[in-house]
Structure 1
């Protein structure tokens, strides 16, 4: 994947100002797919697929960077081999700015095993809190950015609201919630939305937090809290209200065969931010976000399943071919997404997917991540010389 240029079509570049800043925990994700049957105690199951990928807040970081947003990530990294791989993948392969991240001695990387099957997934995680609080990690002055994406469902972001300093500096804050593991659905989360530009929960979360019985009612309640309220409904699409422009929109989802839904919501949010920074109409923002999420779930691996512009270009070509062949609905889809075609770069580039083993960085430059060691590559690479 080629590094994004200093100026992207997300808007004019400003010196030392990123498009989007994120802060949180990065996980090493190990994803298994293709189960012949669910695993049971006392048995062993062989799967058809496996992949390694950055996870956690890295889902948002990679999705944003692949869409051309200059993305900065503030996170803690351990001193283990997992962290080496994560730092190199994010900085050198995905071009995420890690200059505000830190590595810590004697702290190991959190690990998540994802079991993806039947259109959903189960997660098994082991890890410890970052050695310093998130607010301290970000520092008194967050990196300057046009937007911030934050999970206000995470108590750390409410107790140490670093993103409010970003909002005071002019950043648009896009908030998400996530599932409340205690299922209390407390009002403190909605109160935390003060100063946020957008809130993007799924329909179950939106109805639970607003104590309403339909996505439409939940959207109406959330529209009183933030200028841009969005409720995602999975296969039923998404609906939104933007009071700053007076727009309302509802779009259907694209019908695809989902392999792994991990990170789909993060991809949706990143695409929504990109469309907002471009000043797109609300319907276009929702359609673009839905398209990117649909492309993401057709690959496994969370962060590395996020689409790049090459994937979007491939989708446009395939849909154009289907329309030329007279397949039902293809021509209508092309008409609805014509605005996307206008923004596909002339050379969209390709992205890497999750691989079964931790890939060797044979074509990467020396790491620029503070504290990340530069590892020599053996002169004899068996992948190139099978003899």
Structure 2
């Protein structure tokens, strides 16, 4: 008998689902780059290329299933994943975002395409629908503040890096670095016309943590690994030591450390900053790193001070943890306004400290700007509007 996972039925489970399945608020789009836009500015703020997965996320597990057993999940969501996580997060924060990716001509591809292009306003002009090709598929099991994933995919007949050459010129390009490949040519072409290259890196299953990845940073503007990745690649023993080593390779280095916060150095402005983590209720951690990255891109393109960029990225990532699903858990400006309004009105010592640290939000989301009561569609293919 194989491993099975089933969503609990019954009134108690339905009550839990209501809490866990709540979706981000809807508010008016907010363009933080409005003052930066000129007639000859790029039409797109952020260009991305990569794999879009159809994600099914199961939350509220006490533990992952062992072989031959069945466990219950309190919540479930389905949404576009992979590169869609960063694309949706950036779009919800006001960036004009364009993606080059392959989409199958199956129900999963239909759902992902419609969700990105219609609901989330992501430009897919450089993307392609691929006939007779199964969309990549991932099941994510969220438990105890972490997650495990099972993925099924076939290589696209048309590689996404080939599609990426059709991406419009952007202010920024976001790439994932790997041991075998250098910075993709499409991103270098974007950089040659003024785009800044933001980069992150995936987990190295081989355990070699090749220095070739660090050499690629010399062609990037910003690098945002997590603490374990940063320490592994730099052969250092602390996030601060890793940050110092990374600063030898790239102008802006950021090291994220989950609930412990983030630290960064910006050699372009001469700033360094370290901020503590922001701990909120956690339902699902899927995509939190992508939300952090998108929010940091927003702050960088808007020319915010480094500490402000880190705090905004930390807050955005923390708010995403409250909801199911990687891409559709990303906060919009209404979510940020709601959190800021509650925090600014608080009277506890902790709330006053948070309000002081995030007082820059008063200029970005004035308290008079109230979010609507409407909610986004639930993160599931089964309840599409």
Which TM-score bucket, shorter chain as reference?
Answer: 0.7 to 0.9
What residue number does 2:126 align with?
A: 100
Alignment of 1:49 onto 2:79: no
> Which of residues 136, 142, 146 is equivalent to 1:120?
146
What residue number does 2:13 align with?
A: none
What residue number does 1:343 align with?
A: 364
RMSD (Å) for aligned C-alpha atoms: 2.0
What residue number does 1:369 align with?
A: none
Note the C-alpha offset of 1:133. Answer: 2.5
> Which of residues 170, 173, 180 is equivalent to 1:145?
170
Listed as ranges, the gaps of 5+ residues in structure 2 are 1-25
**What is the distance in 2 between the residues matched to 1:10 and 1:287?**
22
Alignment of 1:35 onto 2:56: no
SS in 1 for 2:220: coil
What residue number does 1:183 align with?
A: 207
Note the C-alpha offset of 1:174. Answer: 0.5
SS in 2 for 1:358: helix
> Which of residues 257, 273, 279 is equivalent to 2:303?
279
Matches within 5 A, 1:1-387: 1=26, 4=29, 8-9=33-34, 11-12=36-37, 14=39, 17-139=43-165, 142-153=167-178, 155=180, 158=182, 160-323=184-347, 327-344=348-365, 346=369, 352=376, 354-361=378-385
Note the C-alpha offset of 1:317. Answer: 1.7
TM-score (normalizing by structure 1): 0.87
What residue number does 1:383 align with?
A: none
Render the CA deviation track for 1:260-280: whole Å, top value 9, x for unaligned.
111111000100010011110
Q: How many residues align?
A: 356
Note closer, same or farther for the CA distance 1:337–1:2 as it changes in structure 2 (3 Å cut): closer
**What is the distance in 2 between the residues matched to 1:21 and 1:230?**
20
Note the C-alpha offset of 1:322. Answer: 2.2
Render the CA deviation track for 1:312-342: whole Å, top value 9, x for unaligned.
011012212323xxx1211121111111221
**What is the distance in 2 between the residues matched to 1:331 and 1:164?**
45
**What is the distance in 1 between the residues matched to 2:154 and 2:146?**
26
**What is the distance in 1 between the residues matched to 2:118 and 2:179?**
29
TM-score (normalizing by structure 2): 0.87
Q: Which is bigger in relative contact order (C-alpha 8 A, separation at least 6)?
A: 2
Listed as ranges, the gaps of 5+ residues in structure 1 are 362-387
**What is the distance in 2 between the residues matched to 1:102 and 1:49?**
32
Note the C-alpha offset of 1:142. Answer: 3.7
Note the C-alpha offset of 1:353. Answer: 5.8
